[in-house]
Amino acid sequence: MRPLFLSLLIAAALLSGTAPFATAEPPQAAVSKPSAEPAQTVHALLAAACEQNQAEFARTLPLRSARAYARLTEPSRVALMKRFSFLEAAGKAVSGENSALRCEGPARTLEMEIGRAEIQENLAFLSVEVRLSGAAQPSAPPRRVQIGLVMEGGAWKLLSAGLLLLDLPALEREWNRDSLEANERSIIATLQLLAQAVENYRRTYAHLPERIEQLGPPAHGTATGGAAGLLDAELAGGTKSGYRFRYVIAGASSQGVQAKFELAAVPLAYGTTGQRSFFLDAQGVLHGADRQGALASEADATVAAPAAN
């Protein structure tokens, strides 16, 4: 249960977009009456996370954090909700008595009991007891974490959990950067796959393909020189994972010099699907650089291929 409790503690803290309680100054102006009870906000947050409902999840966040959440990549948004629901796939949220919530997933069910709120000016504090349904030791006391809420625009919004406070806009930049870097690594692997497919085509048909489309799967029947079945249809179409690929034959001569080839990859949406452009030269050396979405060349720095797992 301890990893489960700590995961919940950390996950809720990720959503904070305001200063810690110790340094926050309560506003001097009168505060309007909230439109919902604090427990309802926590219940809605946990239910949305359980069902991986991104729109409902965002409604429980302060405006600044909600805007940062919306700018996260979809995998990052889903990963954040998973830290609340502890389910790999979307589950079903079932409301119980006295603010209880069950999150029923394919592999396990999580039970949460939301306590009564202590309200201080524009802040509210309440505890959540967390347990796994059908745990091996049902008599063991549940773990408890204190949730902090702030009233914004007449509604309670998630602020913190325990003593851990992180800035979601800063986390947005970090997660999106990590996502770009991970995608760039996959593109390097895709370039290597593409180069190997070209060489396999050469060995089979004794010449290089004229176009990358010739490496794709046949519409029906067996593979041919026009559809060699060496790549999936998406990559043979020239795009994959937010990048566009270019294939060029180079180096052939009338004196019998064997033809070579070059490959290039550029992000389809610069800054979103990738930052760097890549170029695999005729000698098989990989180059890469931030070209603002333009083609890279052999003048750019060499890039080491990721180590195989």
233-244 pLDDT per residue, tens = 999 999 999 999
pLDDT, residue 15, reads 41
At 168 the pLDDT is 59
Q: Flag whether the pTM goes above 0.85.
A: no
What are the domain boundaries of the chain? 2-166, 179-289
Determine the residue type at 98: N
Which pLDDT score, from 0 to 100, does residue 77 have?
Answer: 84
Q: 2-166 adopts what CATH topology? A: Nuclear Transport Factor 2; Chain: A, (3.10.450)
Long-range contacts of 41-45 (CB under 8 A, 24+ apart): 41/149, 41/155, 41/156, 41/157, 41/158, 42/99, 42/114, 42/126, 42/128, 42/147, 42/149, 42/158, 43/95, 43/99, 43/101, 43/114, 45/84, 45/158
Q: Which residues contact 285 (CB under 8 A, 6 or more apart)?
A: 298, 302
pLDDT of residue 79: 82
* pLDDT beneath 70: ranges in the chain: 1-36, 134-140, 161-175, 252-257, 306-309
Q: Are 154 and 51 in contact (CB under 8 A)?
A: no
User: What is the model's pLDDT at position 84?
Assistant: 79
The number of C-alpha atoms within 13 Å of 288 and in the hemisphere containing its C-beta is 18
| Backbone conformation region of residue 31, classed left if phi is above 0, alpha if psi is from -120 to 50, else beta | beta
Using DSSP's 3-state secondary structure scheme, residue 97 falls into coil
Query: How confident is the model at residue 21, as a pLDDT?
Result: 30
Report yes or no: 248 and 268 within 8 Å, Cβ to Cβ. no
Give the DSSP H or E segment for 9.
Answer: helix 2-13
Tell me the pLDDT tens digit for each residue of 169-185. Answer: 666 666 677 778 888 99
State the Cα angle at 155 between 70 and 166, rounded to 5°: 50
280 and 295 Cβ atoms separated by less than 8 Å: no
